[in-house]
Structure 1
Amino acid sequence: MMRSLMALPAALVLSGCFGDVPHENPLDPGSDRFVETGVLRGQVTTYYQPFLALSGVTIELSPQNLSTATDSDGLFSFREVPVGEYWVFARDPRYVKDSVRVLVQQETPQRLLFKLDALPQITSFAGRTFHVGSLPPEEDVYFALFEAEVSDPDGLADIASVVIELPALGLQDTMQVTAAAGLFDFRLFGSELPQGELHAAIGYPIRLNVRDRLGSKANPKELILFRIIDQLPEASTPRDLQVVTARPRLSWRPMDLPFPFRYRARVTRVVGGINTLAWESPALSEQDSAVTVDRILAGGEYRWTVSVSDEFGNTSTSAPAAFRVQ
């Protein structure tokens, strides 16, 4: 007991010798450098149910110029953030960026929730021209076929519009949904263009715009039609309802074009006034001028055509010729 009482004055003496202890630690409330800090936490999910967590989203804190990324659960956090007002940004190239202004306080951790709208995507956009020969008195038909494949991480149901534009000619129209998921197409006929000619569209940018239900847009894509095959191939024999064997040989007049091309022959059967595909050849070389149907055709009336296509799918098709199989 006496030892304890004797030690107390010594401790007081030592304390008096040191004076005030310096407060240099910025976490020490007594320090001139002390800064009140708080915690900011949050999560990033998809915009629509089931609100899936989004990983790898960049979260930025301004004006502190701090950044982090969400983890596999879509979570993020900033610790020891000086109290005050900040802008918090959520950025990911696949989604519409979002931001919110928050007040960081020392005693109350801030919790944020970002729900990001996925941007629609244009996977592909292509256009081909077609020249289809007709028998007199009908006129040849010219049209362009455009095909687009689109997607959306929020699901194809989120796609609100797929619009094709030809600004130079004041054209704007909606592409049509096809049976294939995410595939849209549109046919532009020459009769719909100035002077009634598809040639009016050659060389001008044709743009594809895609929007989702919230109005978010995909990065647009453009293409240019650069070729229409005006020369028509000509089906030589058989024609004029000539009677042939069940495996007829089809011949056509050779063509001389200033670009690489392939031939293709196509046979349709006429039943009740309706043409149905009966046979189609593989792609044939520029040197070919005839092909034999490699299957037995049933008796009846048939139409056949020969077409030429360049490497980009631009195509010219002959007027049909007719034959009969007995």
Structure 2
Amino acid sequence: MKRFFLIAILFLFGCLGDAPRDNPLENQNGLTLEGSVHTFYAPHLPLEMVPVQLKKLNLLTYSDAQGRFEFTHLKPDSYTVIVGGQNFSKDSVRMFLKRNTSLTFKVDRLPQFLEIRITTHHQARWFPVEDAYFVQVYIRATDPDGIGDLSLAYYNVPELGVRDTLLPGADAGEFYAWQTPGEFNVQHVNQLIGKAFEMVVEDDAGFGKRSGPVFLTRIIEQTVQLISPVGLHTISGDTIRFQWQSVYLTFPFHYKLEIFQINNGVISIVKTMDGLPSDQTKLELINSLPPGDYLWRIYLVDEFGNTSSSKEGAFQIP
């Protein structure tokens, strides 16, 4: 009888030891949320160093060289996964995690700014007698998906409620606008001082990169007085001798000389000499120009690319 009772107890404990348990591995180690990040465009290559956030626990990781990421030891719960940011477009998934899960994301590599310039340009002139002022907005950008992926660039001046699209430049990735003060809804370029410009460049997928605030650096009010040749002077020798008055400014600058030809009422630039030192007031040029009527200007150019030009001087080559 005792022997039968002992066998019964052992049998009972044996049955209890074999009782089913609910996901023993998940209870011990928690759940795993993993995934991969790929390029937005086919063939959807893996992307490295893409930020991946798990918002519920404020965890942050980055995709590896194979585009993989992983969060482990998670409890069943609602989570939001945010992929991208910094130099990538963002994508997100909100989910209730109840088993080990794998996700796949495709994000766009965003355009990048290589250069941003806002420069002012002051131009003295004979007619109209009032000087002209212009603002040039210039962007040079690239895109990890190829320079041809760039499709649009524009600027905002939030304080003035002004936004305008930039034109494509001569080289791929260049965009520019050449604006008068009136196009910014102001009467004088001085009213743009202290106003924040914001640049945006977008790709074909519609994702964009936005710059921080950019400001005008300077307006050069002083201009150069030309000495010779002026008054449609005839150049008869083999050398053209340009001369202008010296200028003193409180900031570093250099001179730039440009020569234009007038042909049937069309004015086109034929020669530019840039980087002339600030203490130079004369320049001799071997006369290789064809017969015709010409104009020339001297520009003051500061270290940021702001300019101020003289009125035109005119001469003839017989």
Task: Please give the TM-score of this superposition, normalised by the length of structure 1.
Answer: 0.78
Aligned to 2:211: 220
Q: 1:130 aligns with which of 109, 121, 124?
A: 121
Aligned to 1:176: 167
- CA offsets, 1:175-198, max 9 Å, x none? 111121111111121343556322
Q: 1:291 aligns with which of 283, 296, 312?
A: 283
Q: Find the structure with the greater CA-based Rg.
A: 1
Question: What's the CA shift for 1:158?
Answer: 4.8
Aligned to 2:200: 209
Distance in 2, matches of 1:32 and 1:303, equals 86
**Sequence identity of aligned pairs in percent?**
29
Distance in 2, matches of 1:307 and 1:95, equals 42
Which residues in structure 2 correspond to 1:91-170 (within 5 Å)?
91=84, 93-102=86-95, 104=97, 110-156=101-147, 158-159=149-150, 161-170=152-161
- CA offsets, 1:122-149, max 9 Å, x none? 3321111111122234543210111012
Aligned to 1:264: 256
Aligned to 1:7: none
Q: 2:46 aligns with which of 41, 44, 53?
A: 53
RMSD: 3.5
- CA offsets, 1:7-35, max 9 Å, x none? xxxxx99x96xx77x98xxxx87989954
Write the letter of the residue equivalent to 2:156: E
Question: What's the CA shift for 1:270?
Answer: 2.4
Which residues in structure 2 correspond to 1:72-87 (within 5 Å)?
72-77=65-70, 86-87=79-80
Q: 1:307 aligns with which of 275, 299, 302?
A: 299
Distance in 2, matches of 1:161 and 1:33, equals 50
Which 10-residue stretch deviates more, 201-210 or 191-200? 191-200
Distance in 1, matches of 2:193 and 2:89, equals 35
Aligned in 2, Cα 1:125/1:215: closer, same or farther, shift over 3 Å? Answer: same
Distance in 2, matches of 1:87 and 1:75, equals 17
The number of aligned residues is: 306
Question: What's the CA shift for 1:36?
Answer: 8.1
Structure 1 stretches lacking a partner, 5+ long? 1-11
Distance in 1, matches of 2:53 and 2:314, equals 71
